[in-house]
Chains A and B, each alone.
Chain A
Amino acid sequence: MNQRKYLRVYANFLHTSLASELEYKTNILIDLITAILSLIGSIFLLSIFFQNGTNIGGWEFEKALIIQGIYTILNGITNTWFNPNLTEIVKHIREGTLDFVLLKPIDSQFFISLKKINPSGFLEIMLGFCLLLFCIRINEINLNLSFLTLSSITIICSIFILYSLWFFISTTTIWFVKTWNATEVLRSFLYIGRFPLNSFSFSLRIFFSVVIPIAFITTIPSEVFLGLSALWKILLEVIVSIVFVFSSRKFWLFALKHYTSASS
Chain B
Amino acid sequence: MISKLINRKIFTLLKVQYSNMLEYRVEIALWAISGIIPFFMLNIWTNNNLNESINISNDMLSRYFLSAFFVRQFSVVWVVFSFEEDSLLGKVSPYLIQPLNPFYRYFAQHIAEQITRFPFALIIACFFFIFNPESIWIPDFFVLLLSIISTFLSFLIQFLIQSIIACLCFWTEKASSIERLLFIPTLFLSGLLAPVATFPIYVKSWIYLTPFPYLIDFPANLLSGNATNVSGGLIMQILWIIILFPIFRKIWSAGTKKYTAMGS
Contact = CB atoms under 8 A, between A and B. Distances in A.
B95 interface: no
Interface stretch (A24-32, A101-109, A137-145, A149-157): A24-32
Contacts of A48: 194, 198-200
A195 B44 contact: yes
A181 B27 contact: yes
Contacts of A24: 173-174, 177
A181 B181 contact: no
B44 A49 contact: yes
A199 interface: yes
Interface string A26-49: 110011011001100110110111
Interface stretch (B45-53, B99-107, B147-155, B243-251): B45-53
A240 interface: no
Contact of B184 (A37, A52, A57, A179): A37
Nearest to A185: B34
B177 A178 contact: no
B26 A57 contact: no
Interface string B2-31: 000000000000000000000010111011
Given A45-B188, A192-B40, A195-B44, A54 B177 contact: no
A201 B194 contact: no
A6 interface: no
Main secondary structure of the interface of A (DSSP, over half): helix
Contacts of B24: 178
B39 to A, nearest CB: 9
B185 A191 contact: no
B36 A41 contact: no
Query: B37, B47, B174, B199 — which one has the most chain A CB atoms within 10 A of its CB?
Result: B47
B34 A44 contact: no
B34 A56 contact: no
Given A33-B181, A45-B194, A51-B53, A27 B174 contact: yes
A182 interface: yes
Interface in B205-231: none
A180 B37 CA distance: 18
Given A48-B199, A200-B44, A200-B47, A185 B33 contact: yes
Given A199-B44, A199-B48, A41 B185 contact: yes
Contact of A56 (B33, B40, B50): B50
A52 B53 contact: yes
Interface in A190-222: 191-192, 195, 199-201, 204
Main secondary structure of the interface of B (DSSP, over half): helix
B193 interface: yes
Interface in A166-198: 176, 178-182, 184-185, 187-188, 191-192, 195
Contacts of A41: 184-185, 187-188
A168 B29 CA distance: 19
A33 B178 CA distance: 10
Interface in B171-187: 172-174, 177-178, 180-181, 184-185, 187
A201 B27 contact: no
Given A41-B185, A201-B43, A54 B50 contact: yes
A56 B44 contact: yes
Given A34-B181, A191-B37, A54 B48 contact: yes
Contacts of A38: 184
B30 A182 contact: yes
A239 to B, nearest CB: 27
B172 A26 contact: yes
Nearest to B52: A52
A34 B53 contact: no
B90 interface: no
B119 to A, nearest CB: 16
Given A188-B37, A191-B40, A56 B180 contact: no
A56 B173 CA distance: 44
B153 to A, nearest CB: 24
9 contacts: A31-B177, A41-B184, A44-B203, A54-B48, A178-B24, A181-B28, A188-B34, A191-B40, A200-B43
Given A27-B174, A30-B177, 19 more contacts: A27-B172, A33-B181, A37-B181, A48-B198, A49-B194, A51-B200, A52-B50, A54-B50, A54-B53, A187-B34, A188-B33, A188-B34, A191-B37, A191-B40, A192-B37, A199-B47, A199-B48, A200-B40, A200-B44
5 closest pairs, A vs B, by CB? A41-B188, A181-B30, A184-B34, A52-B53, A188-B34
